[in-house]
A = this chain, B = another copy of it.
Amino acid sequence: MADFTDHLKPAHDGTATLQAERDGSAIMVDELAAHLLSRDSFLQRQTKVLAVLSKESLFQKDQQLNLSRPERYHLGLARAKAIQRIMRREHWDHADYSMAEYLNDEMSPYFLHMSMFVTTVREQASEAQQAYWMPKILNYDIIGCYAQTELGHGSNVRGLETTATWDPKSKEFDIHSPYLTASKWWNGSMGRTATHAIVVAQLLLPTKDDPTAYTSHGPQTFLLQIRDTKNHQPLPSIAVGDIGPKYGYASMDNGYMLFDHHRVPKSAMLSRYAEVSDEVGTFTRRGHPAVVYGSLTYVRGQIIMHARLVLARAVTVAVRYCSIRRQFSDRDAKSRDAPEMKVIDYPTVQIRILPLLATTFALHYTGEYFHKLYAESRSTIEKGDFGPLAELHSASSGLKSLCTTLAADGIETCRRAMGGHGFGGRSGLVGLNADYLSKPTVEGDNWMITQQVAAYLIKTMQLCVENPDSPSKSPTEELFRHYLENKDHRIPQSYLAPTSRSILDTNIVSIFQWRAAALSYIAYTTRVLEKKPWTKMMIQLHALSRAYSEQILVTNFHNALTDLAHSSLSSPTPEILGLCFRLFSLFTMEQSSPSFLLTTSIPHTCLSTLPDSILDLMTALRPHAVKLVDAWSIPDFLLDSALGSYDGRVYEELFDMAHRRNPLNRVTFNPDWRSEEIVLGSGDGGRHVLAKL
Contact = CB atoms under 8 A, between A and B. Distances in A.
A328 interface: yes
Interface string A175-211: 0010111110110000111110000000000000000
A524 to B, nearest CB: 16
B669 A232 contact: yes
Given A253-B664, A534-B332, A538-B347, A445 B419 contact: yes
B10 A181 contact: yes
Contacts of A69: 65-66, 664
Interface stretch (A120-128, A153-161, A380-388): A153-161
Contacts of A535: 330-332, 345-347
B534 A658 contact: no
Nearest to A143: B671
Given A65-B245, A678-B74, A328 B594 contact: no
Interface stretch (A29-37, A56-64, A464-472): A56-64
Interface string A524-560: 0000000001111011101000000000000000000
B247 A430 contact: yes
Given A662-B241, A680-B231, A8 B328 contact: no
Interface string A332-359: 1000000010000111110100000000
A686 interface: yes
A507 interface: no
Interface stretch (A76-84, A369-377, A484-492): A76-84
A63 B668 contact: no
A216 to B, nearest CB: 10
A102 to B, nearest CB: 19
Contacts of A536: 347, 615
A203 to B, nearest CB: 17
Given A70-B66, A241-B658, A423-B437, A232 B671 contact: yes
A430 to B, nearest CB: 6
Contacts of A419: 154-155, 441, 445
Interface stretch (A41-49, A90-98, A165-173, A603-611): A603-611
A623 interface: no
B154 A327 contact: yes
Interface stretch (A281-289, A298-306, A649-657): A649-657
A683 to B, nearest CB: 14
Interface in A419-465: 419-420, 422-426, 430, 437-438, 440-442, 445-448, 451
Contact of A232 (B652, B655, B680): B680
Of the listed residues A149, A183, A326, the one surrounded by the most CB atoms of chain B closer than 10 A to its CB is: A183
A671 B195 contact: yes
Contact of A5 (B242, B258, B425): B258
Given A78-B678, A245-B425, A670-B232, A651 B152 contact: yes
Contacts of A345: 535
A678 B420 CA distance: 38
Nearest to A140: B673
A160 to B, nearest CB: 11
A244 B657 contact: yes
A11 interface: yes
Contacts of A10: 151-152, 179-181
B241 A665 contact: yes
Nearest to A437: B423
Nearest to A675: B81
B149 A242 contact: no
A585 B242 CA distance: 44
A9 interface: yes
Q: How large is the interface on A (under 10, 10 to 19, 20 to 34, 35 or more residues)?
A: 35 or more
Contact of A420 (B3, B67, B149, B422): B149
Contacts of A331: 451, 534-535
A233 B430 CA distance: 31
B8 A180 contact: yes
A343 to B, nearest CB: 10
Interface string A224-254: 0000000111000101011111111000010
Contacts of A186: 420
A256 interface: yes
A636 interface: no
Given A193-B671, A239-B3, A425-B247, A340 B159 contact: yes
A256 to B, nearest CB: 5
A539 B348 contact: yes
B332 A533 contact: yes
A327 B671 contact: no
A71 B692 contact: yes
A53 to B, nearest CB: 14
Contacts of A422: 441
Contacts of A105: none
Interface in A636-693: 651-652, 654-655, 657-659, 661-665, 667-673, 675-676, 678-680, 686, 688-690, 692-693
Contacts of A410: none
A306 to B, nearest CB: 18
A234 to B, nearest CB: 10
A611 B536 CA distance: 11
Contacts of A179: 8-11
A89 to B, nearest CB: 12
Given A10-B180, A77-B669, A65 B244 contact: yes
Contacts of A676: 78, 81
A118 to B, nearest CB: 15
A575 interface: no
A425 to B, nearest CB: 4
B412 A58 contact: no
Given A155-B328, A242-B665, 19 more contacts: A11-B181, A65-B69, A74-B679, A74-B689, A78-B686, A84-B673, A109-B671, A143-B671, A152-B651, A159-B340, A180-B655, A193-B669, A232-B680, A242-B664, A245-B425, A247-B430, A346-B535, A347-B536, A416-B440
14 contacts: A60-B693, A65-B244, A75-B686, A78-B676, A152-B651, A242-B664, A245-B430, A247-B425, A247-B430, A332-B535, A351-B539, A415-B437, A416-B446, A539-B611
Closest 5 CB pairs of A and B: A78-B686, A65-B245, A84-B673, A68-B68, A245-B425
